Structure 1
């Protein structure tokens, strides 16, 4: 009998092992973190969602927009701002679901960004895989923008940028782990996407609906902010970042549109050319193309020539505009440092690693084909 009582007691203790667990509804889940700096004060913004209202239910559809809560705390340091945020928190806060980090332009200074790294890297909950953005807009407004059809804010560009980029590429989204890697590499340039609220493209019931877009990027090199550039000035950089790039070009002939070309699977290489103490670069690019629309009757070899010329011009324009502010989105200096670190260090001290005349040649080859019934004609 005593053995049975002892066994019953042990089993009871084991079954009571979850006494301190918290229910899902008893925890506040942070999904996005924003950091600003104004008047010698750090300001932390957090986006919080009610997962009970955004959970998908089979056979039903959301008829109301999921509520979005935005928290704000301020202080002389990031720790002070975080404490200020916690003072009005009604329940336990979980940081394990943060998928986006947004930084204002003022925070991109090295001494402030180091605090951001220290706070996020030391956290046991915040992951290294979150998406990182810069912004010039109000974070209160950024965090309250909702996507189409009353979908969860987790389906917005803030939390899921990669699908939009794969369909039509402008500025490649970057995760925190890659941001730190490039930021700490002296020869690399970070292209930090810039979030903006647009009200120009979409309406809901004839009313303008604000949506997020990437309108440009902050360029950071050697832990120094070089400047901000508009999306249209950085179109050449997309062809040298990843084979996932996919975009359309309208090629011109005699200042008139000749056709619309869909380009994908770019493969690039950078060649370093040494001439004494001078260094020049050659960019080689191979890309697959498909003619989507034809506005002028052209043979396919002529359409290919026009497409290659348009790509060269795009890459050249981006290089000249970024070289003017001593930025290097093509990572030409990084390639030089890998091949000849001593020469790179000498040129770095003289600020001659990359300059407007250092890009000597852009070699572009497009494997072009027509689509549909016209794919075998006019060759």
Structure 2
């Protein structure tokens, strides 16, 4: 009898390590989401889901074959976003894993018709998703955005949309926006934030075909319950000079002789100081930057270059600010600066977390070029 009991106990002990694995999901029997597109038409949510093929990305950064598709896009619709997700489940072959979701793309119609806050809430509350999901807005079909493959067929998980920080460090135009950062900004005065605005351009070619690529073309200005609009192109250029997150960005200026000089500005440092004048809030802006001269088409003194740089930076900051005012948007988060540094006056002036801004709310813009250097250590043109 004792031998039987001992044998039974040994059998049970041998089974214990297996018991924890019985309800696990096998990786090869799951589908992995990389991107989600959200549109809104005729009172219904249109959901586009990009499923990636990890067989092409697990072993190296480069896909194993040009013939094998890296991603496929599914579509479903519903009265709510959650209903659209469950409708999508009706057509999938395996269980869908949301743990690798990298980005969300919102159409212009979705931003106009749907409140952003409850949409983000769906992804925040789900246990598999993360706060480090990148957000984008577009006027192009979101399905087409999800079907774009990276240049030279690089692994899709390293695409510009799925991994935007790498290219931002080389050219800092519009800062990438994650769900975490968007939620923080919308919870603080001015309760508005920026989401990168992307367009599709056919500006790459291979021997076989023209390749479409996502281009950061500006920013969408959003709040928890409202969409202010897009600010794009030249009118969005001032954004990069008003954030300490800017790594480096190019500035090309024309001289009095009609020639041009190309300079890379980096090490951007911004200080915004609110001052009260006759009961109104005004703002003094101090910007520090270092410059590296890339192209000189005429011999010119450093002091003249600095003067040109300061003028164009001021012009771009003012142009962006004026364009945002037309949308009733506080694009430089001046309301938050007053909130942080003079909460008593902010409480007196604020309405729904924002203070009223006018064309002359920015009193002064001071630009300091701390170090202006050239890789050739000369400010003369190379060929006379």
CA contact (8 A) 1:170 1:231 kept: no
Q: Distance in 1 between matches of 2:102 and 2:313?
A: 34
Q: In structure 2, do the counterparts of structure 1 residues 302 and 50 end up closer, same or farther at CA, with 3 Å as the change threshold? A: same
What runs of 5+ residues in structure 1 fail to find an aligned partner? none
Q: In structure 2, do the counterparts of structure 1 residues 7 and 196 end up closer, same or farther at CA, with 3 Å as the change threshold? A: same
CA shift, 1:57, in A, is: 4.5
Provide the residue aligned with 2:192 in structure 1.
189
CA contact (8 A) 1:259 1:293 kept: yes
Provide the residue aligned with 1:213 in structure 2.
215
Q: Distance in 1 between matches of 2:245 and 2:260?
A: 26
CA shift, 1:159, in A, is: 0.1
Q: What does 1:239-250 align with in structure 2 at a 5 Å threshold?
A: 239-250=241-252
CA shift, 1:47, in A, is: 0.5
Provide the residue aligned with 1:253 in structure 2.
255
CA shift, 1:212, in A, is: 0.9
CA shift, 1:352, in A, is: 5.8
Residue 314 (1) aligns with residue 352 (2): no
CA shift, 1:364, in A, is: 0.2
Provide the residue aligned with 1:44 in structure 2.
47
Provide the residue aligned with 2:161 in structure 1.
158
Q: In structure 2, do the counterparts of structure 1 residues 377 and 73 end up closer, same or farther at CA, with 3 Å as the change threshold? A: closer
Provide the residue aligned with 2:13 in structure 1.
11
Structure 1 window deviating more from structure 2 (146-155 vs 9-18): it is: 9-18
Provide the residue aligned with 2:71 in structure 1.
68
Provide the residue aligned with 1:282 in structure 2.
284
Q: What does 1:34-183 align with in structure 2 at a 5 Å threshold?
A: 34-57=37-60, 62-64=65-67, 66-109=69-112, 112-183=115-186
Q: Distance in 1 between matches of 2:23 and 2:171?
A: 48
Provide the residue aligned with 2:238 in structure 1.
236
Provide the residue aligned with 1:272 in structure 2.
274
CA contact (8 A) 1:105 1:134 kept: yes
Q: Distance in 1 between matches of 2:351 and 2:15?
A: 68
CA contact (8 A) 1:187 1:337 kept: no
TM-score by length of 2: 0.90
Provide the residue aligned with 1:291 in structure 2.
293
Provide the residue aligned with 2:337 in structure 1.
335
CA shift, 1:180, in A, is: 1.0
What's the CA shift string for 1:169-216, capped at 9, x where partnerless? Answer: 1111111011011123241431111122111x2111173210111112
What runs of 5+ residues in structure 2 fail to find an aligned partner? none
CA shift, 1:244, in A, is: 3.9
CA shift, 1:71, in A, is: 1.4
Residue 367 (1) aligns with residue 370 (2): yes
CA contact (8 A) 2:240 2:246 kept: no
Q: Distance in 2 between matches of 1:267 and 1:68?
A: 40
TM-score by length of 1: 0.92
CA shift, 1:21, in A, is: 2.9
CA RMSD after TM alignment? 2.5
CA contact (8 A) 1:281 1:360 kept: yes
